[in-house]
Amino acid sequence: MSLESSAGAGAGPARSRGQEPAGPADAAPGPGDRAGQPGHRFRLLDDPVVIRALAHPLRLDLLSITGHAGQITTADAARELGISHGLASHHLRQLAKYRFVEQVAGKDNRERPWRLTSTSMSWRDSVETAEGAAAAAVFEEVLAERAVAALRGWLRRRADWPAGWRRHTGVGQSTVYLTLPELAGLEAAIEALIQPYVDERPLDDVGSRPEGSVPVDITQIIVIPQVQPPGGE
């Protein structure tokens, strides 16, 4: 699964367990790597402890607002989320402990702002171990719950938006019979459509956002009904 920064304004753009970008970008960024530099920064999550650390609604909120702002101080984050400075500080430092955010130099000598260390992540390989699969399941449940909450909020607000935006948002559902290679190909095709936007418009690069653009959460959920797996796979 891959995640555009934080699982969105309601959760951040979340996508299904998909393909990783080409190239050697699958190493977790170290503290201070490319600090203050824009650009797509990919991270592969393969440690169950790290994945579980991210499975926290408030931490996902903090990642989301940090990405949308580009950089944000603890005080501003607390104010935006309506929480105490101490609570925001605690969870930002937990995110920093697991290298999801880092502090960078501020414009003056006041509080140093936080920025994302990665603008997209994948945990697709974590399901290869029992511990990783359990951690991924916890994380994906949190993402699913947030996606449903974001959908409910959008359905309440959608009538206030122009018809074009309303037409291309909401829920669609299809049930199709697929072989495993067909499913993998379909998932890869969906990822390939989204990936150029992820690459060209990193979530925290405010300058890369076209005029008239808004944050759009895309949550890809692929499930198999309660049937037995086909033999030999």
From first to last of the 233 residues of the chain, give the pLDDT tens digit: 344 433 333 333 333 343 343 333 333 444 333 434 557 888 999 999 999 999 999 999 999 999 999 999 999 999 999 999 999 999 999 999 999 999 998 777 678 999 999 988 999 889 899 999 999 999 999 999 999 999 999 999 999 999 999 999 999 999 999 999 999 999 999 999 999 999 899 888 999 999 999 999 999 999 999 888 887 65
Predicted local distance difference test score (pLDDT) of residue 38: 55
pTM of the model: 0.79
Rounded to 5°, the CA angle 133-44-130 comes to 15
Residue-range domain boundaries for the chain: 1-233
The label of the residue with tokens 């692929």 reads 222
CA dihedral in degrees (5, 11, 13, 14; nearest 10)? 90
What is the CATH number assigned to the segment(s) 1-233? Answer: 1.10.10.10
Predicted local distance difference test score (pLDDT) of residue 39: 75
Strand-pairing partners, residue 101, are: 116
Please, what's the b/e burial string for 25-54 (b: 16 or more CB within 10 A of its CB; e: otherwise)? Answer: eeebbeeeeeeeeeebbbbbbbbbebbbbb
In Å, the largest CA–CA distance within the chain is 64
Predicted local distance difference test score (pLDDT) of residue 24: 32
Predicted local distance difference test score (pLDDT) of residue 232: 61
Rounded to 5°, the CA angle 91-97-102 comes to 85
Predicted local distance difference test score (pLDDT) of residue 233: 58
Q: Please write down the HEC assignment for all residues of the chain.
A: CEECCCCCCCCCCEECCCCCCCCCCCCCCCCCCCCCCCCCCEEECCCHHHHHHHCCHHHHHHHHHHHHHCCECHHHHHHHHCCCHHHHHHHHHHHHHCCCEEECCCCCCCCCCEEECCCEEECHHHHHCHHHHHHHHHHHHHHHHHHHHHHHHHHHHHHHCCHHHHHCCCCCCCCCCCCHHHHHHHHHHHHHHHHHHHHHCCCCCHHHCCCCCCCCCCCCCCCCCCCCCCCCC
Predicted local distance difference test score (pLDDT) of residue 231: 77
Predicted local distance difference test score (pLDDT) of residue 25: 35
